Amino acid sequence: MKFCDTFVLKSNELKEKKVFRDAIHDYIHVNHMIIWQLINSEQMQRLRRIRQLGGTYQVFQSAEHSRFVHSLGVYEIVRKMIETDWLKDQLSDYDKLCVMCAGLLHDIGHGPFSHSFEHIFNNDHEEMTVRMILEKSDVHRILSDMDEQLPIDVASIIAKKHKNPILIQMVSSQLDADRMDYLLRDSYMSGTTYGQFDLSRVLRTMRLYNGRIVYKKSGVQTIENYILARYHMYWQVYYHPTARSYEHLLGCIFLRVKDLYKNDYHFHTDMKYLLPFLKNEVTVDDYTCLDEAVLEYYFREFIHEEDEILSDLSYRFLNRRLLKYRELNEEDDYKQIQLIALNHGFDPRYYVFVDMQTQVPYHYYGMSGELSEIEILTKDGLCPLPEVSEIVYALIHSRKYKEDHRVFFPKEIKYEVQNI
C-alpha cells in the first residue's frame, strides 16, 4: 500500500480537539495533529502578512483580513463537506485528510499584493503553491513526515490532477470551498451584504452521483443566489475603481523597479528579498521570505531613492495619494490624456493607464465533463445548472456582459483632463 494506513491516521487525531474562534464559521475545528502543524508552518504563517483583498481595503476600510484567516475558512468548509451524511462514508480517511490539507494550503503560493505582483513578475500562484508543497519547505516536511505520498496527493488536488474528481471539485470549481469562504468573509469584513448566501443549504443539497459532486434540484435557487452574490461582489467590491487605482499604482512601482534593474540603476535600498524575482530565479525559500511587510518596508525606502518616478510613486502609495479616474469614452481619450501627462512631466508609462474590467458570471461547459460545471440532479438525470436555472440561463445568454473601461491619471492633471 502506497500510503499510511488507518492506524496512523487515527493516531494523528488530537486527543483534545482544538478550535479557533472565527467571525464567519463561529469555530474552526482542528481535529488532526497534522492540520495543527500545517497551520503553524512558515508558509501558512506568512499568509498572515498578505492581505486577502490587495488594495480593496483602501475603499472598504474594515476589510483588512489576511489570506491566512481565509485559508482557515476554506479548510473548515472542506471539513464540513466531508462530514455531511452524503460524503462521510464515501471517502477514505486518507482522502479526507488530503482534501483538508489541500483546502488549507491552496493559497500559500500567493505573492504579496497578489494580482499586481503576479502580473509584473509573471508569478503563477497556483504553480508556486504546488512547488511549495513538493519542494523542500516547512510544509513539505510536515506532510512527508506523515507519509511520503501525502505531498504528491495534496499537490495533485490543487493542480486539478487528482484521480478522484470529488476532491478537486471541493477545492477548485465554480462552487468550491474557496469561493464560498471568500464571498462570506469579504462581505462580512467589508460591511456589505452582497456576498451573503446560504452556505448551510448549499451543503444540505450536495449529493454524489457517478463519483462526482452534484446538487439536488431543490438547491437551484440557493446556487443562483450564490452565483449572483459573486457577480455583485466583483462589481461592488473587487472592481471598485479606487481599489483598482491602488492596484495600478502598485503595479507601476513594480514595473519601475523592474525597468530600473534592467537598466542597471544603482539602488540604495538593500533589495535582497526582491533580487531573486528580478533575476527570475526564485526558490521556495525566497518566496517564503517575501511578504507585504517586506514590500512596505521597501516602499518606505524607495521614497529616498534618487529616481524620481520610483520615489514619487512610493510616496503616493504609502500615503494614499491615489490616481484619479474617469470613464474611457473613446480610444482617442487615452492618447490625449497621455499627452497631457507628458506635458506635465509625468511619464505616461507609469502614470496613465486604462483598466478594462469584465466578469463572466458563469462559465458554461455543458455536459463536457468539465469538473467546474455545476450539475443538477433532476428526475430526468443530470443537467448543467443553466438548463434548470432561468436566471443563470439568462445571464449566459445576455446580449453582453457588463464592462467597465476607465482611465487613471494623476490628480495634478485633473482639470485639464476634464476639459478634453
Which helix or strand (DSSP H or E) is residue 30 part of? strand 26-32
**Which three cell numbers, joined as nine digits, stand for 132?**
511549495
Nearer to a copy of itself, 162 or 406 (CB): 406
Nearer to a copy of itself, 196 or 336 (CB): 196
- Classify strands 206-209 and 353-358 as parallel, antiparallel or unpaired: unpaired
Q: What are the beta bridge partners of residue 208?
A: 213
Distance between CA atoms of residues 73 and 52, nearest Å: 12
When asked if residue 404 is in the footprint of a copy of itself (CB under 8 A), the reply is: no
Selected range binding a copy of itself among 250-258, 277-285, 312-320, 368-376, rule: CB under 8 A: 312-320
Nearer to a copy of itself, 225 or 357 (CB): 225
Instruction: Report the residue from 165, 391, 404, 416 that binds a copy of itself according to the rule CB under 8 A.
Output: 391
Nearest distance from C-beta of residue 320 to a copy of itself, angstroms: 5
Nearer to a copy of itself, 161 or 402 (CB): 402
Distance between CA atoms of residues 63 and 182, nearest Å: 11
Instruction: Report the residue from 86, 235, 261, 365 that binds a copy of itself according to the rule CB under 8 A.
Output: 235
**Which three cell numbers, joined as nine digits, stand for 273?**
528579498
What x/- string results for residues 163 through 202 when contact with a copy of itself is judged by CB under 8 A?
----------------------x--xxxxxxx-xxx-x--
Cα distances (angstroms) measured from residue 85 to each of 204, 374, 387: 9, 20, 27
The number of angstroms, rounded, from the C-alpha of 299 to the middle of its chain's C-alpha atoms is: 23
Nearest distance from C-beta of residue 313 to a copy of itself, angstroms: 15
Instruction: Report the residue from 22, 93, 259, 286 that binds a copy of itself according to the rule CB under 8 A.
Output: 22
Q: What are the beta bridge partners of residue 277?
A: none
Q: What is the DSSP letter of 407?
A: E
Nearer to a copy of itself, 58 or 169 (CB): 58
Distance between CA atoms of residues 174 and 52, nearest Å: 19
Query: Please, which of residues 239-278 interact with a copy of itself by CB under 8 A?
Result: 270
